[in-house]
Amino acid sequence: MAEIRIGHGYDVHRLAEDRRLILGGVLIPHRLGLLGHSDADVLTHAVMDAMLGALALGDIGQHFPDTDPRYAGADSMQLLRHVQSLITRKGWKIGNLDATILAQAPKLAPHILQMRLNLSAALGCELNQVSVKATTEEKLGFTGSEEGIAAHCVVLLERMQLPLRREPAKVVPL
């Protein structure tokens, strides 16, 4: 069996006026958007933190500091491709991931497939390795009052199998 690692990510962003709502790289029409230094894609941030966590590589705050002007308005899908290349260089690949978005509004069901397509494309894996779900918290707490949106993600990474090295054929002296 391949060597595996599990990781968990959790993120929250505040909802605000005059901001775009981007989840899993999908721009979703809504009267409020997410506030943050980057594009505030809370789902993609949870996915990246899960991947980094699986390899004990810290969190996105260390890799992409919000004090760094290079990440102002950053496209989080671009940052995800960077994290993907990092885990690839370390010899790991996505086994699967499962994420849940906690949001009172808007309805996210029509956008879930596009989020999965975007994430699987950035991660270079199959659509069936990427699960995204959404739920409300029944008008309870900060997601219920539409103050913010939260996302959780767990990811399983698998060690890549190195290609078998062929030994050169031995020449047996006659």
Q: Which residues bind Mg ion (CB under 5 A)?
A: 11, 45
Min dist CB 7 to Mg ion, Å, is 16
Residue 99, H or E segment? strand 92-102
Q: How far apart are CA 84 and CA 82, in angstroms?
A: 5
Min dist CB 123 to Mg ion, Å, is 18
Q: How far apart are CA 103 and CA 100, in angstroms?
A: 10
For Mg ion, give the closer residue by CB, 74 or 134: 74
Q: How far apart are CA 44 and CA 35, in angstroms?
A: 14
For Mg ion, give the closer residue by CB, 110 or 141: 141
Question: In which residue are the tokens 């506030």 written?
Answer: 35
Min dist CB 151 to Mg ion, Å, is 9
What value, to the nearest 5°, has the Cα angle with vertex 48 and ends 78 and 39?
Answer: 50
The strand pair at 130-135 and 92-102 is best described as parallel
Q: Using an 8 Å Cβ cutoff, are 97 and 129 in contact? A: yes
Give the CA distances from residue 28 to residues 41, 136, 147, in Å, rounded to whole numbers and listed in that order.
11, 17, 17
For Mg ion, give the closer residue by CB, 59 or 137: 59
Min dist CB 139 to Mg ion, Å, is 24
For Mg ion, give the closer residue by CB, 30 or 93: 30
For Mg ion, give the closer residue by CB, 11 or 123: 11
Min dist CB 128 to Mg ion, Å, is 26
